[in-house]
């Protein structure tokens, strides 16, 4: 079973038991509006994206910032995840944030700008959880009161400033970075990573640029 078939098979099951995953966050303004309109969607992770000294962001209006979150371990992972991904952790949170907000005048009026600036703050909520992240764990009782199978894991948070805004492509000029969100004490909080994760974006380096350029040929 490939990933597309797997996601399709999960659709009807998650439709009944879980709220549908909404579109990823678009900007700080749109994000705030979404949280206000869906107060039941709890914030899971907050982050700050910065640029390495001397690094210039892309000037392309089609560029987008992708945030992808994977659990550090496969503890309590659902059988479906193990069967499909083996020992590799799947994305459990995902968001796409366009760099340019020129297409929406309402963003300009709220933000006072029409392009993403750095440092850039983001937040991921329950509405950013992927289909894989919504699955039930193999031993949820042991990990209660955590609501998701990955809630007791440290999270690997990856960011990519993609120059063409297309997730499937890898460009040598993309900026990348990653960090770790450490699981907090669950004694008083069933969900959420309290500390803000910080990610510094930088170029792929000579090796990374060579690989991505070679794939495009």
User: pLDDT tier at 4 (50, 70, 90 boundaries)?
Assistant: low
Residue 205 burial (CB < 10 Å; 0-12/13-18/19+)? exposed
Q: What does the pLDDT look like over 105-129, one tens digit per residue? A: 433 333 444 678 899 999 999 999 9
Number of structural domains, the chain? 1
Tell me the CA end-to-end span of the chain in Å, nearest whole number. 29
pLDDT tens, position by position, 11-36? 444 433 433 333 333 345 545 554 55
CATH number for the domain including 51?
2.60.40.2990
DSSP string, 158-215: EEEEESS--TT---TT-EEEEEEE----TTS-SS-EEEEEEEEEEE-HHHHHHHHHHH
Query: Considering only 67-71, 98-102, 210-214, which range has the smallest mean pLDDT?
Result: 210-214
Provide the domain limits for residue 15.
3-216
Instruction: Give the model confidence (pLDDT) of 159-190 as tens digits.
Output: 999 998 898 888 888 999 999 999 877 554 55
- Average pLDDT for residues 129-140, to the nearest whole number? 81
Residue labelled with tokens 């750095």? 118
> Alpha carbon of 169 to those of 55, 176, 212, 213: distances in Å?
21, 14, 9, 11
pLDDT of residue 92: 96
pLDDT at 18: 39
């Amino acid at each position: 079973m490939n990933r597309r078939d797997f996601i399709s098979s999960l659709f009807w099951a998650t439709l009944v038991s879980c709220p549908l995953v909404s579109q990823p966050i678009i900007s700080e303004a749109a994000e705030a509006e979404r949280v206000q309109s869906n107060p039941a969607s709890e914030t899971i992770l907050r982050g700050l994206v910065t640029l390495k000294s001397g690094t210039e962001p892309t000037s392309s209006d089609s560029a987008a910032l992708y945030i992808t979150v994977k659990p550090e371990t496969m503890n309590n992972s659902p059988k479906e995840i193990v069967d499909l991904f083996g020992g590799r952790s799947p994305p459990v949170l995902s968001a796409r944030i366009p760099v340019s907000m020129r297409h929406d005048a309402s963003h300009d009026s709220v933000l006072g700008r029409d392009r993403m600036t750095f440092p850039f703050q983001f937040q991921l909520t329950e509405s950013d959880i992927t289909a894989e992240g919504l699955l039930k764990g193999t031993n949820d009782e042991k990990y209660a009161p955590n609501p998701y199978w990955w809630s007791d894991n440290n999270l690997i948070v990856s960011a990519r400033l993609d120059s063409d805004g297309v997730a499937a492509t890898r460009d040598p000029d993309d900026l990348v970075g990653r960090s770790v969100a450490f699981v907090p004490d669950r004694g008083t909080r069933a969900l959420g990573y309290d500390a803000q994760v910080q990610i510094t974006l930088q170029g792929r380096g000579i090796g990374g640029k060579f690989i991505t350029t070679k794939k495009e040929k």
